[in-house]
C-alpha cells in the first residue's frame, strides 16, 4: 500500500505544476488523488489544470474555449456559440452502454422505444474504453473540475469529479452545476463521489474526428462515467442524464428517489407558495409548465426526493438549463426568450449565426434568414448534405446552456439545503383521446400505478414517428433507469408508505382532442395548476369519477376569469371532462399486457389498482353508457 501511495503521488508531482498540485492535495482524499493520477498517466495530457471553481478560474476556462475555437463570441455580451461535428449532434444510443457484471440483465431493452441503454459485460467494457483512452489527451490540456449535484452542505449533496480535455464541456458544466471544490474539502475522506472521464479525442477543424470510435459507458459498480471521441453535450456533460443513472441506482439502495421531474412553486391565496414536482415525456409540456409566467421555478429536469419529517422534500440536482432551443419564441416562452436576448453567460449550440452576431433557430420569431453559419458551415435555404438531405437553419437538437440565475422567475430556495416540501406530484403525457385535462388520484398507490406507472405519450407525425402511436414511459423515466422497472415501481410504492404527509398525485393532459381539434389551449395549464394548488390545501371540492377526482365547473369558471380573464363555458367543461370509458378500458388492457408479459416481478399493487379501475369503469358504463357527463358524478370534499 505504501508503494502505491508513493507511486500516485509521484505521478502528480511530475505532471502537475506546484499551484495545481497544491489545489488538488488540499482535498484530504487519497482515493481522489489516486483516480486523478491514474487518468493523468493513462490519457497523457500535455498539461493539467485543477479548478477550484473560483470566478477567475471559470473565466479562464471560458476564454480557453474561445481561444481554441470550441466556442465563438456573439454580439450580445456573454453569449457564445458552439458547433458540434455534423454527425455528432445527438445522444449516441447505439454506443452508450450500462456496464454490468456478467449475468445481470435489467430487462429494459424490451420495453423502451426511447433512449434506454443497452448493456455490456463490465470487464469487457472497461477493457475497451481504457484502450480508447490510452494517450488520447496528448496535445490537449486536462481540466480537473469539482461539482456538486444538489445543494452543497446538504443531505442531498453528491460530490462529483469531472476530468475532461474539452474547455467547452468544462465551461458548460460550470454554468449547469454548483461548484463542489469546497464540498470535497469539507467531506475529505468521507466523500462518496461520482466520477466522470471525458475526452473529445483527436480534433479536425475543432470537432471530434473519430466518431466511429465514440463510446459512452456508465460503470454502475464504480459510479464512473466514461465518454470518448465526442463533444455533443448529451454525450459529454456526464453530470446530466448519465449521472442520473448512477443516482437512480444509489437512491434505490438508500431509500430515496431520483426522478425525471421539474420542481416549481405555484402561488395560492394570501401569498402562499405551494411546491410541485412534475414528470412529462419529451414534447409533452414539461418545460413550459415549469417556466409558467407568474410562478416560481426551482428546476426544469431532474430532482432528488427524500423523506424529511414525514413529508417529501425535493431539490434541483442542477443549477442550469441545457435545453432544446427549437420552438422557443416570445409568445410561448416569454421568460426564457428575455434571458436569451439579454446580456449574460449563455452558450448556444448548433444554431444559425447571422452576420451581425445574432442567432436564429427553428421556431424563432420572424422570417427565416437568407444566409448564415451553422453546424454545416456556410448556410443558405435549400442547402443539402452529402446524402442529399436538406439542411435546416439550426439543428433540431440545437441547445441553450445557461445558469438559472438569468431567469427572472427563479425561486431563491433553489439552494436550500433542506429542499422544498412537495405538496403535489404531476404526471403529464401526450394523449388525444382518453384522459381529462387535470385529475387527482384517490391516494398514493392509485396515483403511482394509474398515473405514473401507466404513463403513455403519443408520437407526433412531425417529430417522433407515426402519429397516434403510444409510447409506454412510466414516470417519464423509463429511458434513464439503471435498475429493473419492477424494482423502480416497488420503490415508488414503498416510498409512499413511509410518509405521514404524502403529496397528492395528479395527471394533466394538454393534448385532448375531439373531431380533430384540441379541446384546450396552451394557456389553460395556468388554470390547471391553480386548481391543483387549491386541492393540495383542500380549499375546493371535486367530483369523484372511476378514474380520479376532477374539478367542479364553478371552480374552474372562477379560476379562468381570475387567471386568464376568460369566460369559461359550461359547454367547454362538459367536453373536456367527459369520461371516455372505451378509451380508458383500452388503455388498461395495453398497460396490463405490458406488465404481465414484459415486466418480471411486477408489484401486485399494479394489477390490483388497474383491475379495480376497470371494475369501476364497467359499473359506470352499465349505468350511463360509454361517454359520461362529469356532472353525473358525486361531489366530494
Could you give the percent of the chain with pLDDT greater than 90?
89
Domain-ending residue, one of 224, 255, 286: 255
CATH number where 576 lies: 3.90.228.20
**Binning pLDDT at 50, 70 and 90, where does residue 212 land?**
very high
Q: What pLDDT, on a 0 to 100 scale, did the predictor assign at position 609?
A: 98
Indicate whether 400 and 421 sit together in one domain: no
Indicate whether 229 and 269 sit together in one domain: no
Cell of 509: 393532459
Q: What pLDDT, on a 0 to 100 scale, did the predictor assign at position 466?
A: 53
Name the β-bridge partners of 548.
545
Indicate whether 46 and 26 sit together in one domain: yes
Are 274 and 312 within 8 A, CB to CB?
no
CATH number where 101 lies: 3.40.449.10
Task: Give CA–CA dist 303/277, Å, rounded.
Answer: 8
The DSSP bridge pattern shows strands 352-353 and 359-360 to be antiparallel
Indicate whether 369 and 419 sit together in one domain: no
Q: What pLDDT, on a 0 to 100 scale, did the predictor assign at position 465?
A: 42
Are 557 and 637 within 8 A, CB to CB?
no
What average pLDDT does this structure show over 548-560?
Answer: 98
Q: How many CB atoms lie within 10 A of CB 204?
A: 9
Place of cell 471553481: 53
**Binning pLDDT at 50, 70 and 90, where does residue 1 land?**
very low
Buried b (16+ CB within 10 A) or exposed e, 374-400: bbbeebeeebeeeeeeebbbbbbbbbb
Please say if the pLDDT value at position 115 is more than 50.
no
Please say if the pLDDT value at position 196 is more than 50.
yes
The reply to whether 14 falls in a domain is yes
Q: Which of 587, 560, 581, 583 is nearest to 632 (CA)?
A: 581
Are 391 and 383 within 8 A, CB to CB?
yes
The reply to whether 82 falls in a domain is no
Task: Give CA–CA dist 216/540, Å, rounded.
Answer: 49
Domain-ending residue, one of 341, 374, 406: 406
Write the pLDDT tens digit of every residue in 82-103: 999 888 887 787 889 999 999 8
Q: What pLDDT, on a 0 to 100 scale, did the predictor assign at position 108?
A: 80
The reply to whether 81 falls in a domain is no
In sign, the C-alpha dihedral spanning 213, 216, 220, 225 is positive
The reply to whether 378 falls in a domain is yes
Are 34 and 40 within 8 A, CB to CB?
no
The reply to whether 103 falls in a domain is yes
Enter the DSSP assignment of 449. I
Domain-ending residue, one of 384, 406, 428: 406
Task: Give CA–CA dist 147/233, Å, rounded.
Answer: 17
Indicate whether 154 and 286 sit together in one domain: no
Indicate whether 298 and 164 sit together in one domain: no
Q: What pLDDT, on a 0 to 100 scale, did the predictor assign at position 468?
A: 63
The reply to whether 572 falls in a domain is yes
The reply to whether 450 falls in a domain is yes
Indicate whether 210 and 332 sit together in one domain: no
Please say if the pLDDT value at position 438 is more than 90.
yes
Please say if the pLDDT value at position 360 is more than 70.
yes
Q: Which of 239, 256, 168 is nearest to 197 (CA)?
A: 239
Q: What pLDDT, on a 0 to 100 scale, did the predictor assign at position 2?
A: 36
In angstroms, the Cα distances linking 637 to 420, 442, 502 are: 27, 12, 18
The reply to whether 138 falls in a domain is yes
CATH number where 401 lies: 2.170.8.10
Indicate whether 472 and 571 sit together in one domain: yes
SS3 state of residue 140: coil
**Phi, psi dihedral angles at 471 (to 5 degrees):** -105, 125
What average pLDDT does this structure show over 346-360?
Answer: 97
Indicate whether 369 and 228 sit together in one domain: no
Please say if the pLDDT value at position 6 is more than 70.
no
Average pLDDT, the chain: 94
Q: What pLDDT, on a 0 to 100 scale, did the predictor assign at position 463?
A: 38
Indicate whether 306 and 330 sit together in one domain: no
Please say if the pLDDT value at position 289 is more than 50.
yes
Expressed as residue numbers, the domain containing 305 is: 259-320+414-636
Which are the contacts of 463, defined by CB distance < 8 A and separation ≥ 6? 283, 396
Indicate whether 505 and 429 sit together in one domain: yes
What average pLDDT does this structure show over 448-460?
Answer: 92
Please say if the pLDDT value at position 298 is more than 80.
yes
Which are the contacts of 515, defined by CB distance < 8 A and separation ≥ 6? none
Which residue would you say has higher pLDDT here, 91 or 420?
420
Please say if the pLDDT value at position 467 is more than 70.
no
Question: Where is average pLDDT lowest: 20-34, 76-90, 262-276?
Answer: 76-90
Active site residues: 284
Q: Which of 178, 596, 168, 627 is nearest to 403 (CA)?
A: 178
The total number of structural domains in the chain stands at 3
Indicate whether 243 and 370 sit together in one domain: no
Q: What pLDDT, on a 0 to 100 scale, did the predictor assign at position 169?
A: 97
What average pLDDT does this structure show over 133-154?
Answer: 97
Task: Give CA–CA dist 206/209, Å, rounded.
Answer: 9
Q: What pLDDT, on a 0 to 100 scale, did the predictor assign at position 91?
A: 79
pTM confidence score: 0.94
Place of cell 386548481: 531
Task: Give CA–CA dist 455/457, Å, rounded.
Answer: 7
Amino acid at each position: 500500500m505504501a508503494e502505491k501511495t508513493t507511486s500516485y503521488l509521484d505521478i502528480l508531482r511530475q505532471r502537475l505544476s506546484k499551484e495545481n498540485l497544491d489545489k488538488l492535495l488540499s482535498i484530504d482524499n487519497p482515493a481522489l488523488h489516486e483516480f486523478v493520477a491514474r487518468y493523468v498517466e493513462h490519457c497523457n495530457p500535455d498539461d493539467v489544470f485543477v479548478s477550484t471553481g473560483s470566478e477567475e478560474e471559470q473565466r479562464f476556462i471560458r476564454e480557453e474555449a474561445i481561444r481554441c475555437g470550441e466556442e465563438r463570441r456573439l454580439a450580445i455580451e456573454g453569449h457564445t456559440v458552439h458547433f458540434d461535428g455534423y454527425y455528432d449532434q445527438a445522444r449516441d444510443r447505439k454506443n452508450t452502454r450500462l456496464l454490468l457484471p456478467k449475468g445481470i440483465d435489467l430487462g429494459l431493452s424490451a420495453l423502451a422505444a426511447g433512449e434506454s441503454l443497452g448493456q455490456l459485460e463490465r470487464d469487457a467494457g472497461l477493457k475497451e474504453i481504457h484502450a480508447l483512452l490510452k494517450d488520447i489527451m496528448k496535445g490537449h490540456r486536462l481540466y480537473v473540475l469539482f461539482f456538486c449535484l444538489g445543494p452543497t452542505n446538504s443531505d442531498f449533496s453528491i460530490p462529483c469529479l469531472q476530468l475532461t480535455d474539452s474547455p467547452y464541456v468544462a465551461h458548460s458544466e460550470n454554468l449547469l452545476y454548483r461548484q463542489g471544490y469546497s464540498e470535497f474539502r469539507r467531506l475529505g475522506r468521507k466523500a462518496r463521489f461520482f466520477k466522470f472521464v471525458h475526452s473529445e479525442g483527436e480534433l479536425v477543424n475543432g470537432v471530434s474526428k473519430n466518431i466511429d470510435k465514440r463510446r459512452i459507458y456508465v460503470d454502475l459498480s464504480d459510479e464512473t462515467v466514461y465518454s470518448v471521441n465526442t463533444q455533443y453535450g448529451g454525450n459529454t456533460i456526464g453530470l446530466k442524464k448519465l449521472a442520473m443513472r448512477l443516482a437512480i441506482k444509489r437512491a434505490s439502495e438508500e431509500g430515496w428517489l431520483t426522478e425525471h421531474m421539474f420542481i416549481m412553486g405555484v402561488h395560492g391565496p394570501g401569498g402562499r407558495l405551494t411546491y410541485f414536482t412534475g414528470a412529462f415525456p419529451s414534447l409533452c409540456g414539461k418545460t413550459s409548465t415549469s417556466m409558467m409566467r407568474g410562478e416560481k421555478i426551482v428546476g426544469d429536469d431532474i430532482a432528488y426526493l427524500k423523506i424529511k419529517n414525514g413529508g417529501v422534500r425535493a431539490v434541483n440536482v442542477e443549477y442550469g438549463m441545457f435545453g432544446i432551443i427549437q420552438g422557443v419564441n416570445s409568445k410561448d416562452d416569454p421568460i426564457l426568450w428575455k434571458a436569451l436576448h439579454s446580456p449574460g453567460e449563455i452558450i448556444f449550440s448548433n444554431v444559425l449565426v447571422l452576420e451581425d452576431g445574432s442567432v436564429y433557430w427553428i421556431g424563432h420569431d420572424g422570417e427565416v434568414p437568407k444566409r448564415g453559419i451553422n453546424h454545416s458551415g456556410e448556410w443558405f435555404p435549400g442547402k443539402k448534405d452529402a446524402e442529399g438531405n436538406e439542411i435546416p437553419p439550426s439543428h433540431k437538437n440545437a441547445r441553450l446552456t445557461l445558469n438559472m440565475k438569468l431567469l427572472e422567475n427563479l425561486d431563491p430556495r433553489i439552494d436550500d439545503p433542506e429542499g422544498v416540501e412537495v405538496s403535489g406530484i404531476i404526471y403529464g403525457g401526450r394523449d388525444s383521446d382518453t384522459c381529462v385535462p387535470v385529475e387527482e388520484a384517490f391516494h398514493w398507490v392509485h396515483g403511482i400505478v394509474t398515473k405514473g406507472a401507466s404513463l403513455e405519450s403519443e408520437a407526433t407525425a412531425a417529430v417522433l414517428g407515426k402519429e397516434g402511436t403510444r409510447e409506454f414511459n412510466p414516470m417519464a423515466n423509463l429511458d434513464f433507469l439503471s435498475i429493473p422497472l419492477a424494482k423502480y415501481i416497488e420503490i415508488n410504492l414503498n416510498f409512499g408508505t413511509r410518509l405521514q404527509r404524502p403529496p397528492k398525485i395528479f395527471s394533466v393532459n394538454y393534448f385532448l382532442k375531439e373531431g380533430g381539434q384540441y379541446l384546450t389551449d396552451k394557456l389553460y395549464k395556468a388554470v390547471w395548476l391553480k386548481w391543483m394548488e387549491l386541492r393540495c390545501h383542500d380549499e375546493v371540492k371535486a367530483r369523484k369519477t372511476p378514474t380520479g377526482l376532477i374539478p367542479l365547473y364553478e371552480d374552474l369558471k372562477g379560476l379562468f376569469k381570475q387567471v386568464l380573464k376568460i369566460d369559461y363555458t359550461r359547454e367547454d367543461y362538459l367536453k373536456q371532462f367527459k369520461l371516455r370509458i372505451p378509451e380508458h378500458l383500452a388503455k388498461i388492457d395495453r398497460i396490463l399486457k405490458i406488465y404481465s408479459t414484459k415486466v418480471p416481478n411486477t408489484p401486485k399493487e399494479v394489477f390490483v389498482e388497474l383491475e379495480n379501475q376497470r371494475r369501476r369503469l364497467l359499473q359506470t358504463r352499465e349505468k350511463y353508457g360509454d361517454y359520461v357527463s362529469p356532472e353525473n358524478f358525486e361531489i366530494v370534499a
